[in-house]
Amino acid sequence: MKILLTGANGYIGRRLLPVLVMQGHDVICLVRDKRRIELEEKLIDKVQFYEADLLKPEQLQSLPQDIEASYYLVHSLGSSSSSFEQMEKDTSQNFVDAINKTNCKQIIYLSGISNDESLSKHLSSRKNAEDILANANASLTVLRAAIIIGSGGASFEIIRDLVEKLPVMVAPKWLKTRCQPIAVRNVIHYLSGIIGKQESYGKTYDIGGPDILTYKEMLLIFAKVRGLKRYIITLPVLTPRLSSYWLHFVTATSYKIASSLVDSMRNEVIVENKGIENIVPQKLIPYSDAVKMAFDRIAQNEVVSSWKDAFASSKINTDLMEFVKVPTYGCFTDQRTTTFERDRDEVLQNIWEIGGDRGWYYWNFLWKLRGYVDKAVGGVGLRRGRRSPDQLVAGDSLDFWRVLVADKQEGRLLLIAEMKLPGEAWLEFKVSKENGKNKITQTATFRPHGLFGRVYWYSIYIFHEFIFNGMMNRIVSHHEKEKEVSVKV
């Protein structure tokens, strides 16, 4: 079957893609930039790409007409737009207008459980998208999920932050709300199994795991799995705004996502619309087992996708490649270069492992301090970390940076800053040959916005002298043995 997969770069899309290919489907991925997907060799020749932005209907005019089914895995929860509801409405309508010109017979949409009469803005927006998609010529199958538990998932990472960082939690009253979490493996099985099942056409199904738990119970079970003793005190006095700030400062999530999540947590998300279990039977994974399986993935460095890598969680919601060519006009630049005798691949690997648990090689406490400051003013801070400890692809989040270019063969890594700044900032590493010697060039570029941007650059310039020079030298000299020693200590 020929399938159009939207949201192929997203948390669910990246996991669903190889499953669809293994099932023998011909998959076309609708993406804004195909360079953001790193495919296994066995998948490269079996996947096609169609580059387009769903907010730009003119880019959707050439969709292949022989599409038989489509997945709509797009949402704007973490968008920097002031109205993610309008963005979801526009993308849904543009998708319907485009898919109506094809032979598509079925649209599969992953939504959120929305059985309450009074819904949060987030769940209401998802419901509105359902209504728009239902007007397509193709039949709509809706799978409404509660909280999805899996390595790299937003809910999983937020719960992990809360449990691992806070021995005692003074939490808002929404911790008493009930939900029905589901393992990401069960979600992928439902999504891949429902395609082409005519009995599901025009139907809506709630999907959840075998456990109905309060958010407080989820936190305590998570702690038990991790071997941690945690105490939770719920207070009725924390307003939604205060709750959002609390979640923002304690976890890796942005304030906008935290606000949407807190707003949604007043709604119980319990399975009511049943029936999919008869069409796609499977064994549902208990919540505690789903948590254990997620940590198995993390331990093996096999986190396939992360919510942090979606551009909806980034301030860069335009064409990524507009930023790949670093500007020069009106910019301040700090460039440092040194030659080295070490193996080129070893130095490149040090560059590719920067940030996250490895840190920034030199005066790491100042990088952490900058992260705390950024978090305090509403930025992303350092808590996002990185998807993988030793791999980077374009589009990955890297602490408070976003990867624009990650080309090991060319020896180039280019990052753009996502912290709060009075301007735009890039950090670039290049490894090349000069007169027969290996050379590393490290360039920090800052394009200020107004007078305050210029004052900011000069106020931190003295720190650059130490930090950037020390960082470059440590990248060249760092050996894996140093990491092993620090772990043992």
Divide the 489 residues of the chain into consecutive groups of 10 and give the mean pLDDT of each group.
90 88 91 72 79 89 92 70 73 93 95 76 80 94 90 76 78 80 94 95 95 91 89 71 64 62 70 93 94 72 46 42 64 91 94 92 90 81 80 86 88 90 91 91 88 87 88 89 42
pLDDT of residue 125: 78
What are the start and end residues of each CATH 3.30.530.20 domain in the chain? 323-488
pLDDT of residue 435: 85
Q: What is the C-alpha separation between 153 and 307, in angstroms, rounded?
A: 6
What phi, psi does 8 have (nearest 5°)? -65, -20
pLDDT of residue 38: 65
pLDDT of residue 313: 37
Taking the mean position of all CA atoms in its chain, how far away is CA 475? 27
pLDDT of residue 164: 77
Contact 419, 374 (CB under 8 A): yes
pLDDT of residue 76: 58
Q: Does domain 323-488 have CATH number 3.40.718.10?
A: no
Q: Per this entry, what is the length of the chain?
A: 489
Q: Where are the alpha helices (DSSP H) in 441-488?
A: 450-477, 480-488
Q: What is the C-alpha separation between 130 and 92, in angstroms, rounded?
A: 8
Q: What is the C-alpha separation between 320 and 293, in angstroms, rounded?
A: 33
Q: What is the C-alpha separation between 431 and 337, in angstroms, rounded?
A: 10
Q: Where are the alpha helices (DSSP H) in 171-327?
A: 184-194, 215-225, 240-250, 255-264, 276-279, 287-299
Architecture in CATH for domain 2-304: 3-Layer(aba) Sandwich (3.40)
pLDDT of residue 235: 75
| C-alpha distances out from residue 373 to 171, 176, 369, 400, 478, Å | 23, 32, 6, 12, 28
pLDDT of residue 151: 77
pTM for the structure as a whole: 0.68
What are the start and end residues of each CATH 3.40.50.720 domain in the chain? 2-304
Q: What is the C-alpha separation between 299 and 294, in angstroms, rounded?
A: 9
> Which residues are CB-contacts of 299 (< 8 A; sequence separation ≥ 6)?
none
Q: In the sheet that 69-72 helps form, which strands lie side by side, from edge to edge? A: 47-51, 26-31, 2-6, 69-72, 106-112, 139-145, 204-207
pLDDT of residue 298: 58
